Structure 1
Amino acid sequence: MDLLELFFIVLGAAVIVCYGVRLLLFTRMLFPKMWFPLSKSFFTSMGEWAVVTGASEGIGRAYAFALAEQGMDVVILSRTKATLDQVAKEIGASTGQRVKVIATDLMEDVFSEIEDQLRCLNIGVLVNNVGMLPSFIPCKFLECAELDQTITKVINCNVKTMAKMCRIILPAMENRGKGVIVNISSGVASIPFPLYSLYAASKVFVERFSQGLHAEYKDKGIIIQAVTPFGVSTRMADYQKTNIVTLSPEDFVKSSLQYIRAGDKTYGSVCHIVLGWLLQCVPLEILYADSILLSLQNYVKKRRHPPLKVTL
């Protein structure tokens, strides 16, 4: 056996091992209860309180309920006090846990006031859920209505708010040596996504920021994870009918919490894991073809309900 033949044998073996490991890691995600088990006291062991932004409806509301059901008291933040009060009443009635309401516009400079209201709480979990989709109907960047204002709103809501809330909550977690931070990104951040360019780019920040923070603080006992769902039936998604791909907020959150110990990023459910894998396997030249983008626009227009405001 000459040297060149040996080289190709070793190279082939390395490729097989590499793809075997990747397959194993992929299959682990299909069985989270087996690979990433959580004790019944996992969340309460992190701290007494959970903080959830954008908690008046949709995914945020579902996280607030789910964490209260795990025995945590919850702080819920959003703009509409009446809606928050109703959510707080329902959580208290169904779980018996305490609920603190903070009605505030997170796109404004309100973070010093929020920090004051959270200062004395033993916060074990933070869910940064609040987000804004500029338009449910896909459109090119320059065709977005009120573009200058939209740019500012998307960055403030999807980027600044998440970073500021981490800045407020993370120091106490570091001091205690434990905590969980969940930052809600989006499946569209898996690739550069035409017609949702601004939104997708803002969610890439969420993903990369979360992964960087996790690397910085995992040795301190803190889990920081980006959750990147595709279809969830919320106001932002125009309340699409639930099916195998589009999940209810409650089903998605229940599934995503099983992946808390799965690393710095998760799609949150088996069907969305498969979708993410498929999306990244398709050549971008195909996805970016004009006919495909036009078909996407037409498909969304046909499926949408009567116009709804999409800022959460």
Structure 2
Amino acid sequence: MWEVVGKVAVVAVVGRLLWSLVKGLWGTFLASVVGFNINIKKTGQWAVVTGATDGIGKAFAFELARMGFKVVLVSRTPFKLQNVAAEIKSQYGTETRIIDVDFTRTDIYDRLEKEMAGLDVGVLVNNVGMSYDHPEFFIELPDCSRKCEHLINCNILSLTEMTRIVLPGMVERRRGLVINLSSLSSTIPAPLLTVYSATKSYVQSFSESIGVECRDKGVRVQCLLPGYVVSNMSKVRRPTLMAPSPTTYVSSVFRTSGVEDHTAAYFMHKIQLYFIELAKSYLPGFVLRNIIFNQFKSFRQRAHRKKQKDAKAE
């Protein structure tokens, strides 16, 4: 009997591995080749990108401009927005609009709604987000109340309000694509990144639910779960196989749009996500939690040592 159970278990695991491999190859490489991904260029004239002056957001803005979209660039710093707009104009000659707002505030959405009124928005990229300066215990976060308020406003309220503003027009025209940036950290217990991880879990839940509501209305909603990507927020400076450049990451996203509504997009991040799901299925919960906790504690200790060293240098 136990021999039969063992064989069934092996077959189940192998079958899951093969099915995951097939799905990964299809979504990452094959679907776009045979035209199963969404024709993004037919969604509308304008694309809106939040957090458009750095990292993934800036890469989205450039790629959408390259595709022929007019681009609304939304971020906090006017000078950086003007620079990105000038670069896009120089490279692609496309029209841009800039809206300088601080997404940690709650009184910005009337202005955003007015400035985007009447635009044929085909793509909305809810990219803006913020994290901790370094992993830290919740009760030891500097200015904890204010930090949590900013994280919630920037990572949750921005996504919800921008979708509220743009989605009705997409539904009316029966075409559009909404891309929401979550994180691999939302799929695991993330002690020492507690509030950040929780906000990114909201992004997942919101995206899945609103995607079901909109699917028969011609609008697709895609939730991205990137791992490390070169950016100021991640503090990764040089691209590697595990941490691609923003341009590399964004190019992988558009190959999956319309094929995978919930995806890490980049193939190495997909492998990470697969092993996370495998660990959650087959390992006791405390094992995964302890592995992650110990890793983040080492990052925290390293950050504190650096702060102490910098303080002494001053």
- Shared fold (TM-score greater than 0.5)? yes
Match of 1:214 among 211, 214, 217: 211
Kindly tell me: are residues 19 and 300 of structure 1, through their superposed partners in 2, closer, same or farther at Cα, counting changes over 3 Å?
farther
Partner of 1:27: 22
TM-score, normalised to structure 1's length? 0.86
Please identify which structure carries the higher helix content.
2
Kindly tell me: are residues 17 and 218 of structure 1, through their superposed partners in 2, closer, same or farther at Cα, counting changes over 3 Å?
farther
Structure 1 position 231, deviation (Å): 0.6
The separation in 2 between residues aligned to 1:249 and 1:188, in whole angstroms, is 18
The separation in 2 between residues aligned to 1:40 and 1:132, in whole angstroms, is 30
Kept in 2, the 8 Å contact 1:40–1:70? The answer is: no
The separation in 1 between residues aligned to 2:276 and 2:30, in whole angstroms, is 26
The separation in 2 between residues aligned to 1:25 and 1:277, in whole angstroms, is 8
SS of aligned partner of 1:258? helix
The separation in 2 between residues aligned to 1:22 and 1:211, in whole angstroms, is 24
The separation in 1 between residues aligned to 2:195 and 2:181, in whole angstroms, is 16
Partner of 1:310: none
Structure 1 position 266, deviation (Å): 0.8
The one-letter code matched in structure 2 to 1:287 is: L
Does residue 253 (structure 1) correspond to residue 250 (structure 2)? The answer is yes
Residue deviations 1:103-145, cap 9 Å, x none? 111222111111111111100000000001022x211111111
Kindly tell me: are residues 254 and 303 of structure 1, through their superposed partners in 2, closer, same or farther at Cα, counting changes over 3 Å?
farther
Partner of 2:74: 77
Kept in 1, the 8 Å contact 2:36–2:258? The answer is: no
The separation in 2 between residues aligned to 1:291 and 1:25, in whole angstroms, is 29
Partner of 2:177: 180
Q: Which moved more, 1:251-260 or 1:279-288?
A: 279-288
Partner of 1:94: 91
Residue deviations 1:247-301, cap 9 Å, x none? 1111111111211122321102000000111223333322333644433434677
Kept in 2, the 8 Å contact 1:240–1:246? The answer is: no
Kept in 2, the 8 Å contact 1:231–1:237? The answer is: yes
Does residue 43 (structure 1) correspond to residue 32 (structure 2)? The answer is no
Kept in 1, the 8 Å contact 2:225–2:265? The answer is: yes
Superposition pairs of residues 54-69 of structure 1, within 5 angstroms = 54-69=51-66
Kindly tell me: are residues 40 and 208 of structure 1, through their superposed partners in 2, closer, same or farther at Cα, counting changes over 3 Å?
closer
Does residue 228 (structure 1) correspond to residue 225 (structure 2)? The answer is yes
Partner of 1:126: 124
Partner of 2:163: 166
Residue deviations 1:65-119, cap 9 Å, x none? 0011111110000011111011001011111211111111122211111111111
TM-score, normalised to structure 2's length? 0.86
The separation in 2 between residues aligned to 1:164 and 1:236, in whole angstroms, is 23
Partner of 1:297: 300
Kindly tell me: are residues 28 and 209 of structure 1, through their superposed partners in 2, closer, same or farther at Cα, counting changes over 3 Å?
same
The one-letter code matched in structure 2 to 1:29 is: G
Residue ranges of structure 2 left out of the alignment (5+ in a row): none
Q: Percent identity?
A: 31
The separation in 2 between residues aligned to 1:143 and 1:43, in whole angstroms, is 44
The separation in 2 between residues aligned to 1:232 and 1:56, in whole angstroms, is 15
Partner of 1:113: 111
The separation in 2 between residues aligned to 1:269 and 1:157, in whole angstroms, is 24
The separation in 2 between residues aligned to 1:149 and 1:72, in whole angstroms, is 37
Structure 1 position 169, deviation (Å): 0.4
The one-letter code matched in structure 1 to 2:196 is: Y
The one-letter code matched in structure 2 to 1:110 is: I
Partner of 1:155: 152
Partner of 1:286: 287
The one-letter code matched in structure 2 to 1:114 is: L
Residue deviations 1:38-68, cap 9 Å, x none? 5899222000000000001111100000011
Residue ranges of structure 1 left out of the alignment (5+ in a row): 308-312
Kept in 1, the 8 Å contact 2:37–2:256? The answer is: no
